[in-house]
Structure 1
Amino acid sequence: MHVAVIGCGAAGLVSAKHLSNAEGFTCDVFEKSDRVGGIWVYSEIESDSRQLPTHSSMYKNLRTNLPKEVMEFSGLHYKRKDISYLPAQDVIDYLNEYANLFDLKKHVKFENLVTSVKPVGKKWELVAKDLNKDEDYTYIYDAVFVCNGHYSVPIYPTIKNQEKFEGLQLHSHEYRIPERFKNMRVLIIGIGPSGQDISFDLAQHAQIIYLSNHSPEYLSSRYPENVVFKPDVSHFEKNTVCYKDGSSNEIDAILYCTGYAYKFPFLDESCGIEINENYVSPLYKQLICIPNTTLAFIGLPFRTFIFPLLETQVRIQHQKMSWTM
């Protein structure tokens, strides 16, 4: 079986490793950038000369919120032994070492942007633009692994009068360095992994940080002294945030740490995939497309040990396809 893998982050690399090593399987990996790593690649440049986005949701000082011991693929350990929670660059180094160890880059079509995927009989037609040649090419595959990630399309909440706020408004996707917020009064909305981590990153530079959330389980955690917990936001005024408990604060900037939307712009309607309220369906075990079972989505779940999950999902889909050969 000839398999297309879309994306060359962690999910795409582990897919390529298992598919390329399996008897009876070959694969091509399509990656719109010129390197492996996906979300782990840090860049302060927003777009390239082609006006394509070049930065992921990675910020300069990010450290993993999981220990490296649960962020490994089989066959390779991290070289670093002194700490468990790693800077992002260590993860990039690991993914490149993994790609080199298993000779995966030879399967990657770098700077190829997938624009269309649709079923044609029992096979799949994939169209990709070669960004260097500015030409579209059409390929036929027996199966498709979607590995394009889901941390690139920001979700913004709808809050009364937010368009009237006169200060800076950013999503965590756009956050890069804390120095930009020096001496500012910053409101962070959301207390997921990004909201928590960015509040620590900002604390040494911002004047004060208001961390708006409705998750009391986090209130017992230790935060820097200039991080103040606040309830959900009611509305904004031109330089003020008003909360649902009636209190208010003057602020200079808002950071929305409110998550990301699933998006697969290259999938044709005939693939049978729908996204409703950020739920992808119809999928079996959040993995296999039920109407077209040779279409798989690697890495949709979150709040999990993602690297072992990716490898498990790849093994499951590979085994399922092996039974049909």
Structure 2
Amino acid sequence: MMSIAKKRCCVIGAGAAGLCALKYALEYGMEAVAYDKCNEIGGTWVYTEQAVDGCDAAEEVHSSMYDGLRTNLPKEVMDFPDFKFPANMRESYILASDVLKYFQAYAKHFNLMPYIQLQREVMRVRPINDKWEVLTLDLKSNNYITESFDYIFICNGRYTTPSYPKTEGIELYKGHKMHSHVFRKAEAFKDATVLMVGAGRSGMDITHHIYPYAKRVYLSHHLQQKPPVTDFMPNVVQKPLVERYTEDGAIFKDGTQACCTHIIFCTGYNLTIPFLSADCNLQVHDNFVYPLYKHCINIYHPTMCFIGLPIYAYPIQLFDMQMRFIMQYYSGKLQLPSTEDMLADTVCDLAERRERGLPRRKSHVVGERQFDYYDELVALTGIDNIRPVIKKLAPKCSGKFLYDLQNYRKTAFKVIDDENFVQFKLGEV
């Protein structure tokens, strides 16, 4: 393996992406440090207690984890290729706390902790004389510190700034309203009438958590052709999108209306990277960072890269693939295309997305095409592709939260080798 002797590297974030970036930077011989504003590693997998009321102040909370959360992907597609989950874990859909323990074990196994500085918030990143000036705030001492680096790995995640629909009348509503980002405990909704806005992963899972406590749950969504299965939750009523809000509830697109004591917005997040200076020559708007080569390398300043921007992918596989791809260039093994060629490639990718009807906001969506994206990275650099068994598991994982919410976590998988897996029901011998 080639080394990058004495090159200084700053990793922003110590969640899963940051740990992966740090691990590879160290393996390639970089002098690396990772900064995270929290007091422990793990990023979005860190559970922090948070009251459900007073949501405006509560949105400062770092993590979206809630009590009792289990993964909606099996652990068999959530591990790094060089570090597995414990072999004695039979369940595939595991508790968030077990995922956090896995990342803690990963950091220990690869001796990453000495290179991580917690409670250090990155305030500004800007290019100066072919280097990167990084200004951080030490949250313990309240001191500002300026340092210089050769490379920047941005791994700060994309699930910290809640997004709300711009729907008429929300300012009129007098009940409790909150974003799923600050949802913590289902029992807080005992005897409540709840309007759940959105039927994505969080919307469906939180509905599943609170229906035993709530008096009634209205599940508002746009899935008309194939609505989610909620029959097993007798007090859940599906509704179309909200037309407008009233003082005590909402009027829906079909003209029906409902009163509710609580509204929970499960409406996603806005991508924010507040520490980037204008000199970085990047546009960050509407969940899109432009221009990036292959969704990760800053075309105008290619010593800056982003890990984990593509969404609806298997995150751990994505982080690992992107880092191995990037390090082929940063190590000097391969040379990046010219600025013009990288821009042309990015423009071509955007044009193809527009032809498929994807708006700007979905410019980093990969979804079912994540495997095509991995194939691209492999073809360009010759790195190993993800294990074929991961792709074979994909049809067993997708959409289960919508159509088999009651039962899908009772299924477990066991990977036999890089090509094969077996599937079984928990409780079977």
TM over 0.5: yes
Contact map agreement 2:59 2:181 (CA 8 A) in 1: no
Alignment of 1:1-325 (within 5 A): 1-23=7-29, 25-45=30-50, 53-79=60-86, 80-216=88-224, 218-222=226-230, 223-323=232-332
Q: 1:224 to 1:45 in 2, by over 3 A?
A: closer
Taking the aligned partners of 1:90 and 1:264, their CA distance within structure 2 comes to 29
Residue ranges of structure 1 left out of the alignment (5+ in a row): none
SS in 2 for 1:20: helix
Residue deviations 1:246-302, cap 9 Å, x none? 111111110000000111111111001212222111111211111111111101111
Aligned length: 320
| Unpaired segments ≥5 residues, structure 2 | 1-6, 52-57, 336-429
Report the TM-score, using the length of structure 1 for normalisation: 0.94
Mapped partners of 1:218, 1:285: distance in 2: 33
Residues 1:34 and 1:59: Cα distance change in structure 2 (over 3 Å): same
- Kindly tell me: are residues 171 and 220 of structure 1, through their superposed partners in 2, closer, same or farther at Cα, counting changes over 3 Å? closer
Distance 1:264 1:44, change over 3 A: same
Kindly provide the amino acid, as one letter, of the partner of residue 10 in structure 1.
A
Q: How far did residue 220 of structure 1 move?
A: 4.8
Aligned twin of 2:408: none
The RMSD of aligned alpha carbons is 1.7
Distance 1:226 1:13, change over 3 A: same
Q: Deviations over 1:191-216 (max 9, x none)?
A: 11111111101111111111111123
Aligned equivalents of 1:124, 1:75: Cα separation in 2: 31
Specify whether residues 52 and 195 from structure 1 end up closer, same or farther in structure 2 by C-alpha distance, changes over 3 A only.
Answer: closer
Instruction: Give the Cα separation in 2 of the matches to 1:232 and 1:163.
Output: 17
Task: Give, as a single letter, the amino acid of the residue that structure 2 aligns with 1:164.
Answer: L
- d(CA) in 2 for partners of 1:54 and 1:77? 30
4+ long deviations beyond 6 Å: none
> Residue 216 of structure 1: SS of its match in structure 2?
coil
CA displacement at 1:53 relative to structure 2: 4.0
TM-score w.r.t. structure 2 length?
0.72
* Aligned residues with identical type, % of pairs: 37
Q: What is the CA distance between 1:241 and its match in structure 2?
A: 1.1
